[in-house]
Structure 1
Amino acid sequence: MSAGTAPVTLDRREGPFGEVVLRERGDDFEIIANGCFLMDTSDGRSERLLIDAALAALPAGRTAPAVLIGGLGVGFSLVRAAGEERWGRIVVVEREQAIVDWHRQGPLDRISGPALADPRTEIVQEDLVAHLLTTTERYDALCLDIDNGPDWTVTEDNGSLYSAAGLAVCKERLTPGGVLAVWSAQPSSAFEQSMRYAGFSAVRTEEVAVARGVPDVVHLALRTH
């Protein structure tokens, strides 16, 4: 983040899930939802790790795996997936019309434009929890980044995603051997245990090294049957 630079609000929208704001701070963009800082473009290592770790965890020999990315955000995860030729179908589920607009015809196009134009990419404008409950499709990887983590959700309804019932739905949406990857702004041993209770295997956490403070992490687990 550009230290010492005052943010400039580029757009502010009121939607069915509350307020969402796009700000520019120096060379970086920030997304704020209901007054809660979500993400910015200053780093992106953990968003890229979300995609890379999921691909690396898939069984060897799986060709053109399909990935669902939960949350478009500033576009780093989508760009990472589109930059990897091994991925097949890339589905991004984003509930906020404003965020989709900022990428399609707004300032964030400079980040995600080529990835959105990739023929493998599909944007589904829908609440992620609702989508997982209603779709019948299965994916080889679910890469979810819609909150600041299982213990710090943007809206109360999102909490159901990390519950036993929500994890059961995630498991159902995965192919056998598929990977669940969940981004978090801090490690959560309780969520790791919830993943195990839900029947996932090979549960582990990958951290992004930081100079100080709590690291961003990606929680990973496999559906083995």
Structure 2
Amino acid sequence: MLPMSTHPIPAPDDTPELLDRRVGPYGEVALRRRGPHFEVIANGTFLMDTSDGRSERLLISAALDALDGARGAHVLIGGLGVGFSLAEAAQDRRPGRITVVERERAIIDWHTGADAPLAPFAGQGHGDPRAEIVHADLMDHLRTTEDRYDALCLDIDNGPDWTVTDSNDSLYSETGLDLLERTLGDGGVLAVWSAAHSPAFEARLRARFARIEVIEVPVHVERGVPDVVYLSSRG
């Protein structure tokens, strides 16, 4: 059974307004407004909204804390989303570089175009000289980059067991973890966001990393399961 959506259950008359819809190489992505909040829908699946960014921010802060307060860290954020993770990284003095990898051109446009509706949710991120947005598929970026990251913070799809496109399954596979380990610097931290616990993915992490921490973040949804952040490091 798929985990429940982590956005508030709308009132019957809370009809979403479609602001934009694009079709690209990964299918359809749409931006909707529901009351004061924005929603991103990918291939008909609710992906994220702007109602609550606690777990997306925790993805960044917990990874930086796990680096033992190191300054000048190079942080990769997998998925720009609505911008909460970028906002958290930009308000922290510890990162020296912030690389955001986003494959959907539409999401980048909703952050950086004229009157960009999602830009405010990225805080100071878009004006931060440490930050760079890379338009690329994350797996392609991992295969080709020469960078080594101190923190890999991934918020792709709704987690390992609920991907928007089938091709994203490989990110959480042994092949994907090989790439993630290759681009992770010595003493680095891998942080992965999920909309629910994934026992199989957690087992793969435990087979590779010496230290694993599983952090639950309650969500404001009736009968909803907690969001989960997996933190992994070699020692």
SS of the aligned residue for 1:149 comes to: coil
Deviation of 1:69 (Å):
0.1
Which of 97, 103, 108 in structure 2 is aligned with 1:95? 103
Which of 136, 139, 148 in structure 1 is aligned with 2:149? 139
Residue deviations 1:150-193, cap 9 Å, x none?
Answer: 11111111111111111011011011110000000001121111
Runs of 4+ in 1 over 4 A off after TM superposition: none
The corresponding residue for 1:122 is: 132
5+ residue gaps, structure 2: 1-7
The corresponding residue for 1:43 is: 52
Which of 178, 188, 191 in structure 2 is aligned with 1:181? 191
Q: Which amino acid aligns with 1:214?
A: V
Deviation of 1:223 (Å):
3.0
Q: Tell me, in whole angstroms, the C-alpha distance in 2 between the residues paired with 1:145 and 1:167.
A: 15
TM-score when normalising by structure 1: 0.95
Which of 53, 72, 80 in structure 1 is aligned with 2:80? 72
SS of the aligned residue for 1:153 comes to: coil
Are the counterparts in 2 of residues 28 and 42 from structure 1 also a CA contact under 8 Å? yes
Change (3 A) 1:61 1:84: closer
Are the counterparts in 2 of residues 2 and 27 from structure 1 also a CA contact under 8 Å? no
Deviation of 1:88 (Å):
1.1
Change (3 A) 1:33 1:39: same
The corresponding residue for 1:214 is: 225
Q: Does 1:33 align with 2:42?
A: yes
CA RMSD of aligned residues (A): 1.3
Change (3 A) 1:2 1:163: closer
The corresponding residue for 1:200 is: 209
Q: Which region of structure 1 is more displaced relative to structure 2, 13-22 or 215-224?
A: 215-224
Change (3 A) 1:61 1:37: closer
Are the counterparts in 1 of residues 80 and 107 from structure 2 also a CA contact under 8 Å? yes
Percent identical among aligned pairs is 62
Q: Tell me, in whole angstroms, the C-alpha distance in 1 between the residues paired with 2:36 and 2:187.
A: 40
Are the counterparts in 2 of residues 205 and 218 from structure 1 also a CA contact under 8 Å? yes
Change (3 A) 1:111 1:213: closer
Residue deviations 1:21-44, cap 9 Å, x none?
Answer: 000000000000000100000011
Number of residue pairs the alignment of both structures matches: 222
Q: Which amino acid aligns with 2:87?
A: V
Q: Tell me, in whole angstroms, the C-alpha distance in 2 between the residues paired with 1:213 and 1:124.
A: 33
Q: Does 1:165 align with 2:175?
A: yes
Q: Tell me, in whole angstroms, the C-alpha distance in 1 between the residues paired with 2:61 and 2:19.
A: 31
